[in-house]
Amino acid sequence: MTPLLTIENVAYTYPGGQTQAISGVSMEITAGSRTALVGPNGAGKSTFLLMLNGILRPDSGVVRFSGRPLAYDSKSLRDLRRRVGFVFQNPDVQIIAPTVEADVAFGPVNLGLPPDDVRRAVRDALDHVGLQGYEDRPPHLLSGGEKKRVAIAGILAMDPEVLVFDEPTASLDPATSGEVMDLLDDLASRGRTVLLSTHDVELAYRWADSVILMGRGRVLARGAPEEVFSDPDLLTAARLRPPALLALSNELAHRGIIDRCPPPKGIAELVDRIERSISDHASDRGGHERR
C-alpha cells in the first residue's frame, strides 16, 4: 500500500528558539489508517502536525502528500489544506464567526462553493457531529464540548481526506471526550485517514491501529499499540506509563494465567479470557480427580 503522507528527515526550530523542536523525524502515514502520535509535553507532536498541512515549513527534509513534495505557494497550500484538515487543540482559536452556522460555512465559502452546496455541507457536518439546531447560537454561549464539535464540523464541511487532531480530548470531561473519540472512530471507519496527538496512552491504545512514540523532538518507536506500549524501557524514556489493561494482561500472561497473544482491547475481552482459562483449568482438574 502506498503511503498517503511521507515525512523524510524533517527538522524544525522555532524562530528565536535555542533547540530544535523536532530533529530528523521520518515516518509514513498510510491511507485509511488511524495513527496516534504519543509523547509527553514538549515532544514536538504539535510542531510535527502543523507541518502536515503546511502551516509550518520544515527547515530541512521533505513532506510528501500522495508522493509529491509540498509546495509552499499560496495556491498549492490552499489545495493541501482542503485535503488535510487540521483541528486545533483550543476550539476558541479555531472558531472565527459569530454563529455556529457561519463558522462551519467559513471553509466551504472560501473554497468558492455555490450557496446551495455550502448549505448542504454545513447541514451534513452539523448532523455528523450531532449539533442540529445549534445553527444560530453564538460560540461564546457553547460549552467546551460543543465548541469542540463546532471546530470539528468546520473542518468536516470541507470534506478533507486526512483529518489531523491536535490533542482532541484535552480539557474535556470523560463523557465528552468519549463522545469525541466515538466521532473519530466513526470518521476513521468511513475510510478517512485520521491522525491525532495525545499523551493519553489509554486512549491511544484503545483507538489507534498504529502508534508513533515521540520524545524530545524524535521518533522513539512506531508500530502496533500493543507492541509499542509493551516495552517498559521505551515508555520510561518517553516519560509515559503503559496502559493499565495492557500492563495487567502482560503480567497475567507472564505468570501463565492467560495466553500471551493477542493482547485484549477491552476489559470484557480480558475477563472472558481469564474466565476461560480458569474453567479450562477446573475441567482439567475435575477430569484428573475422577480418574
Partner 1 sequence: MYETLDGYARTNRLGSISPGLKLFLGLASILLCTSSPGPIAPLLVAVSLSAAILILARIPPRVYACTLLIPVSFAMMSVIVILFITGGGPVLFEVPFLPLAITVGGANLAILLLARVFGGTCALLFVALTTPMTEVFALLKKIGVPTVLIDLAMLIYRFIFIFIAEADQIYRSQVMRLGYGRFIESVNSLGMLVGALFLRTIDRGEALVLAMDARCYSGTFSTPGYSRSVSPRSFIATLIYLGTVFAVSLKTGSLQFI
- Of 88 and 205, nearer to partner 1 (C-beta) is 88
User: 135, exposed or middle or buried, with CB in 10 Å at 0-12, 13-18, 19+?
Assistant: middle
Applying CB under 8 A, does 64 fall inside the site for partner 1? no
Q: Which of 12, 48, 88, 205 binds partner 1 (CB under 8 A)?
A: 88
Euclidean distance between CA atoms 133 and 127, whole angstroms:
9
Cell of 171: 480539557
The pattern of x and - marking residues 89 through 108 that bind partner 1 according to CB under 8 A reads ---xxxxxxxx-xx--xxxx
Interface with partner 1 in residues 181-200 (CB under 8 A): none
Applying CB under 8 A, does 158 fall inside the site for partner 1? yes
Euclidean distance between CA atoms 149 and 183, whole angstroms:
9
Euclidean distance between CA atoms 164 and 187, whole angstroms:
12
Minimal distance in Å, beta carbon 96 to partner 1? 6
Applying CB under 8 A, does 86 fall inside the site for partner 1? yes
Minimal distance in Å, beta carbon 171 to partner 1? 14
For strands 34-38 and 210-215, give the pairing: parallel
Euclidean distance between CA atoms 62 and 70, whole angstroms:
8
Q: Which of 139, 215, 217, 263 binds partner 1 (CB under 8 A)?
A: 139
Applying CB under 8 A, does 48 fall inside the site for partner 1? no
- Of 53 and 249, nearer to partner 1 (C-beta) is 53
Applying CB under 8 A, does 82 fall inside the site for partner 1? yes
- Of 75 and 288, nearer to partner 1 (C-beta) is 75
Cell of 169: 480530548
Which string of b and e fits 212-240 if b means at least 16 CB within 10 Å?
bbbbbbebbbbeebbebbbbeebbeebeb
- Of 44 and 243, nearer to partner 1 (C-beta) is 44
CA 59 to each of CA 12, 13, 51, 127, 164: distance values in angstroms, whole numbers, following the listed order: 5, 7, 11, 40, 21
- Of 110 and 189, nearer to partner 1 (C-beta) is 110
CB atoms within 10 A of CB 245: 19
Q: Which of 31, 77, 170, 234 binds partner 1 (CB under 8 A)?
A: 77
- Of 12 and 229, nearer to partner 1 (C-beta) is 12
Applying CB under 8 A, does 125 fall inside the site for partner 1? no
CA 26 to each of CA 60, 61, 81, 187, 210: distance values in angstroms, whole numbers, following the listed order: 12, 9, 21, 26, 15
Q: Taking the CA of residue 67 as centre, how many other CA atoms within 13 Å lie in the half-sphere pointing to its CB?
A: 2
Sign for the CA dihedral angle at 258, 262, 267, 272 comes to negative
Minimal distance in Å, beta carbon 160 to partner 1? 10
Q: Which of 136, 182, 186, 284 binds partner 1 (CB under 8 A)?
A: 136
Applying CB under 8 A, does 78 fall inside the site for partner 1? yes
Give me the residues that bind partner 1 (CB under 8 A), please. Answer: 53, 55, 77-78, 81-82, 86, 88, 92-99, 101-102, 105-112, 118, 136, 138-141, 154-155, 158
